[in-house]
Amino acid sequence: MPGGIRSGLPQTHMMQTTQKNRFAPFFVASVTVALVLLIGSVVTFTARAKTVDSSDAPKLSVPAARQHENEFAKVAKAVEPAVVNINTESVIKNPHKHLRRAPQQNPGEEDQEENGNGGGNNSMQEFFERFFGQMPEGIPNMPNAPNGGEMTAQSLGSGVIVSPNGYIITNNHVVEKADRIRVSLMGDPTTVSYPAKVIGTDKETDLAVIKIEVGHPLPYAKLGNSDSMMVGDWVLAIGSPFGLRSTVTAGIVSAKGRNIVPGRQFQSFIQTDAAINPGNSGGALVNLDGEVIGINTAIYTESNGYQGIGFAMPSNTIADVFNQLAGPSHKVERGSIGITFSAEPSPAVTRMYGGGRGVIVQDVTPNGPASSAGLKAGDAIVSVGGKPVANGDELVAEVSAHHPGDKLKIGYLREGKQQEASVTVADRQKLFGAQLGTAEESAEEQAPKESKLGITVKAVPAITAKRLNLAPNQGVLVTDVKAGSFADSVMLGRGDVILEVNRQPVNDPAGFAKVESTLKSGQDVVFVVRQAGQGQNATNSFLGGTLP
């Protein structure tokens, strides 16, 4: 076989040579004919051009400019000046850390109040791309960044001016954690961009309010009633995809009330097939009356680009969130009674505990409103304030519409018997802030003491302990890691739970501080941790090094 392979090469070469020689005369003749024909045609053309009479050729002209506006053009012309381009910059400290560890959820951010399963599941990032330019500029060169140094990430998005004095609605993910926000106006002949300040943000609806000071009244868009839209109605999407300002695309409303992540509350979207792409996020979805009926928020994609399915937050939700964020507190208050339930309830469970109706309580927050009123796991809530509720979405909508301190009559079934309880509504954020990633830090958390190890810790939230299969009061949760610190060097990350330090169990921040105070320079330090991102099958990891 090897001999055959070696002999085959010369044979092939000889055959090609022979064929080349055989057809050489034909090739030369063909080329000669081709050249003759080509030259002949040129000569002929030149000769004819001199003799052809073109005195009867018409004179072409361009008519005076006039408008050919259709409904789309009229709407685009009216709304486009109110849609802005948003450019943000964020400083990323120690970019190497972002390469070594996959991004994690905020500590305790996988379940939400009154929905039980998967409230903050990061699967959303896998299936629904936030499309405002997610990858920081220069990420391919991050390995060359100095260890412990900084890099600047730039992102682009859109926004909608809703008042002549410069209030703008956009997505929270467009401006979240931005160190610098600048706004460019559509149709502005100058290249000036205006600095913007954040008025308020709401993670649960992914909405934010920012403001610019321009010195003169601005064109602004009016909100429409999203409830009046029907599947099949025409809509326009206006924004800055890929940084291309003043881009308008058309489509229809392809669905309403679309919940793109199971169990995610307050995110019921309008679905559209109007083309929206990275950079459209925060831009306007407009009806043919020129009214904004949605803020473009997400797309379903397998390619990071348009695939015919986009999602916009409805204007009726936008109006309520804007009014609260622009109010004195600059935050959205939602009522809660402190319970959790399954986002996708089993019919068998509903039949067993509620006789086929109601919302089955999975758990109650200790010392929360429901617990104080006597509600228990296994109760089936069938009404709120005398209004029947058939599912979890209806329950959350009714409760969250009330303000903290309001009294609510909760009707429920326990062992088949109808009962009623008076519940005092609490602030949802205060009850479930740790799970939602929106908890307000205490003064002590805002100004943590300097740590030898370079970390800040707090007690482990119950929902995180459950997710990582931890016993009550076991371990401490890492809430921050200082770039370039010892903890950072041994790969300890935000969201990890520390169980032991040098074989000494730590079960609360005070216990951790006591162990930390005994550590000295040059000493080996070993952590036993449950790392963020693991589930109930989580196993312990050992991370360690020598303290500088």
Catalytic residue among 173, 226, 393, 402: 173
Residue 63 burial (CB count, 10 A):
5
- In tens, the pLDDT along 490-529 reads 888 888 899 999 989 999 998 999 999 999 989 999 999 9
Number of DSSP helices (H) and strands (E) in the chain, helices first: 14, 29
Is residue 230 pLDDT above 90, yes or no?
yes
Q: Which one of the listed residues 111, 158, 184, 206 is annotated catalytic?
A: 206
Torsion of CA 412, 414, 417, 421, to 10 degrees: -40
- 149 versus 214: the higher-pLDDT residue is 214
Domains, in order of start, for the chain: 69-332 (2.40.10.120), 335-432 (2.30.42.10), 441-546 (2.30.42.10)
> Is 406 a residue of the active site?
no
* pLDDT tens-place string over residues 244-276: 878 999 999 999 988 776 656 777 899 999 988
66 band by pLDDT with thresholds 50, 70 and 90: confident
Instruction: Report the range out of 22-31, 151-160, 291-300, 446-455 with the highest average pLDDT.
Output: 291-300
More confident residue, 483 or 87: 87
* DSSP class of 344: S
The mean pLDDT of 318-340, rounded to a whole number, is 91
For residue 402, what pLDDT is reported? 87
- Pairing mode, strands 524-530 and 497-501: antiparallel
Catalytic residue among 155, 240, 281, 315: 281
**Residue 13 known to be catalytic:** no
At 176-204, the pLDDT tens digits run 888 889 999 976 666 678 999 999 999 88
Cα–Cα dist 235/268, whole Å: 18
Residues 77-136: tens digit of each pLDDT? 999 999 999 999 877 665 554 443 433 333 333 333 444 433 444 444 434 444 433 433
- Any residues with CB less than 8 A from the CB of 197 and at least 6 apart, and which? 181, 210, 211
Taking residues 382-400, report their average pLDDT: 89
173 assigned to active site: yes
- Assess whether pLDDT exceeds 50 at residue 475: yes
Q: In terms of Cα–Cα distance, which of 232, 152, 204, 220 is closest to 333? A: 204
